[in-house]
Structure 1
Amino acid sequence: MAVTLRDVARAADVSIATASRALAGSSLTNHATQRHVIQVAAALGYRTNTFARALKTKRSRLIGLTVHNLENASFQVLASVVQTRMQALGYQVILSISADDPEQERDIFKTLVDHSVDGLIAVPNGANGAQLLAMEHADIPVICAVRRVEGATLESVLAGDLDGAYAGTKHLLDLGHRRIGLIVGMSDTTSGKERLAGYKRAMQEAGLPIDPALIQAGRYAPETGVTAANALLSMPTPPSALFVANHESSLGVLRVVSERGLLIPDDLSLLFYEDSPWFEWQRPAISVVDSGAAEMANLAVDRLVQRLGGVANSGREYRVGSRLIQRASCRAIAPT
């Protein structure tokens, strides 16, 4: 038999109303009583009926979090920060993976609404802005992270991708590289478009032409790295450096480098975008442009918590700065 609230109240020697308030964290219950009731409930194996509480309080204490995949280190950080911080505030997080598929994302949003989530942090595909706005209009606060939804008045927390890609490309230019291959994400995404723009800006400022053959764009997947790296390194005059600004493709690039027997950085300089612990453990350690995933995640949670507290949707876009981390995978060369 399931343990009921009445069982908890009886074992704790308090009224049902007091037990209910204590388990809900109400300020009307003193700390000693609250701690006592929680300990008794835990000992009895009592579990709160989330849906019943949601019907009564109009709050489910559930938060939605959607990401495209869990291969991306930034999404892993986002999930960890959101889970840790929201759980400390008494919320549970429903993590969903959209696979960057608009239809799958649409179904996820519908399911989250059906489960009466109190709020949502989404790495949006960009195709379901109307659905996200409908959630906002239904008093479900939505915070977009990493990507924005064009044309939708939603609060967004983004990386400084244009500046980050500019700084990364300029770093390679300062080392003497002139043929810099870029592997980037799709142009219909915020990061793909802005990282490409940052690369072009640095190249143009250096007085270099933009060679379309040096730019490879594709899906956020290791296979993109394999295809793109092979294409770039098979050119009659291959690039002396690769700037891999498509994080998920990094593993594919490393595979191609290994298969071709190239030495890093003697034969080829490598610069990756979005840091990961194993980039530092790689030998040689990989230089990166860090997009500030933890800062983005914490700011997204800050904004959501304020929205849950009644602050109105500002529709503002917040930016977190990127930074170059120099390790051992890039070397200076004599300009040709």
Structure 2
Amino acid sequence: MSVTLKDVAEAARVSVSTASRALGGGGLASERTQQRLLRIAGELGYRPNTIARGLKTGQSRLVGLLIHNLANASFQVMAEVVQARLKALGYQMLLCIAGDDPQQESDMLGTLADHRVDGLIVVPTGRNGARLAQLEAGDIPVVCVVRRDDEAELETVLADDPQGAYAGTRYLIGLGHRRIGLIVGRQDTTSGRERLSGYIRALREADIAVDEALIHAGRYEPETGAVACRKLLDLATPPTALFVANHESALGVLRVTAERRLSIPDDLSLLCYEDTPWFEWHRPAISVVDNGARDLANLAVDRLLHRIEARNGHNAGNGHNAEGAREYRVGARLVKRDSCRSLAPQASEA
């Protein structure tokens, strides 16, 4: 059976109210009493009821982070950064993984609301905007990251995906490539649409016709990359370069290129989106467009904490986003390594 506050009070021979004040940091118990209660609570294995405390104080010190998966290197970095930042300020992070599934996302939003989280950082599927707006209206500040939810006016932190995809495609064009395959995310998501738009813009500026056969959009999962890569390689005139515009698809692409014993970059130049340390350790080291996951996470935490403090009356405004649904952008950058080669010695960046 779990240890209760009453058990701790009885072991310390104090009243329940004294134990509550001491363990809750209310400042009404003496330092000596507080230290003794903390020691006894630790020995007994007592854990405070966070939900009950939240009901009493109006602050649970819990923040939800809702992402799609942990296969994506960007989400791994974001989870690490958000947890470290929050822990340093006395918050606990509740990590939820929705698998890019709207129903799972909806269920998890309900669970986080039941736990009375003080705030929420979410990578939205785009299908639960009304639910997110309801949480926002119910005094739970919400910050979207990586994607915008077009159904709701919510504060949002995005990477500069149009410019990142544009810069990556320009780089490949500058190396002499004209048939550049693109594997990109779902077009009903911000990142999927914007990365495709950057690719198309770069091709048009270089007077290269947009070939729909070279573009494959799909779910954010390795199998999308594997299926698309096979189709592209099986074309009568396959691409000389492949731009894989999300990390999950990159995992599938690397599997297929290994299965087919392709030499990167001699047989196929490869540029990926979203960096990870093992891309640098890979041989050849893989060139990427880095979407700045660490900066995205830090800015999302900054904005959420600002909103939580505003709701609690420490700043002007309130938890209903009095400043309006602002959108912030973090720059994406091209990182050149060894997985892309020039088709012609005289080729230069367009």
Q: What TM-score comes out, normalization by structure 1 length?
A: 0.92
1:326 aligned to 2:333? no
Q: 2:186 and 2:192 mapped to 1: Cα distance?
A: 5
Q: 1:33 and 1:302 mapped to 2: Cα distance?
A: 36
**Counterpart AA for 2:170:** K
Identity %: 64
In the other structure, the counterpart of 1:207 is: 207
Could you tell me which runs of 5 or more consecutive residues in structure 2 were left unpaired when the two chains were aligned. Answer: 311-316
**1:175-324 map, 5 Å:** 175-310=175-310, 311-312=317-318, 313=321, 314-324=324-334
Evaluate the alpha carbon distance shift between residue 46 and residue 287 of structure 1 in structure 2; reply closer, same or farther with a 3 A threshold. same
**1:1-336 map, 5 Å:** 2-5=2-5, 8=8, 19-26=19-26, 37-310=37-310, 311-312=317-318, 313=321, 314-334=324-344
Q: How many aligned residue pairs are there? A: 335
1:29 deviates by 7.1
**Counterpart AA for 1:325:** V
In the other structure, the counterpart of 2:313 is: none
Q: 1:211 and 1:328 mapped to 2: Cα distance?
A: 26
Q: 1:278 and 1:14 mapped to 2: Cα distance?
A: 55
Q: 2:207 and 2:271 mapped to 1: Cα distance?
A: 21
* Secondary structure class of the residue paired with 2:167: helix
Q: 2:16 and 2:88 mapped to 1: Cα distance?
A: 25
**Counterpart AA for 2:232:** L
Greater CA drift, 277-286 or 310-319: 310-319
Could you tell me which runs of 5 or more consecutive residues in structure 1 were left unpaired when the two chains were aligned. Answer: none
Q: 2:2 and 2:152 mapped to 1: Cα distance?
A: 45
Query: Alpha-carbon deviations, 1:159-213, whole Å to 9, x = none?
Result: 1111110111111111111111111011110110000000011111111111111
* Secondary structure class of the residue paired with 1:107: helix
RMSD: 2.2
* Secondary structure class of the residue paired with 2:237: coil
Preserved contact between residue 243 and residue 270 of structure 2 (Cα < 8 Å)? yes
Q: 2:34 and 2:195 mapped to 1: Cα distance?
A: 51
**Counterpart AA for 2:144:** C
**Counterpart AA for 1:150:** D
Q: 1:32 and 1:273 mapped to 2: Cα distance?
A: 55
1:19 deviates by 4.7
* Secondary structure class of the residue paired with 1:289: strand
Evaluate the alpha carbon distance shift between residue 2 and residue 192 of structure 1 in structure 2; reply closer, same or farther with a 3 A threshold. closer
Evaluate the alpha carbon distance shift between residue 217 and residue 10 of structure 1 in structure 2; reply closer, same or farther with a 3 A threshold. same
Preserved contact between residue 247 and residue 272 of structure 2 (Cα < 8 Å)? yes
Evaluate the alpha carbon distance shift between residue 309 and residue 25 of structure 1 in structure 2; reply closer, same or farther with a 3 A threshold. farther
1:277 deviates by 1.8
1:88 deviates by 2.5
**Counterpart AA for 1:142:** V
Greater CA drift, 13-22 or 144-153: 13-22
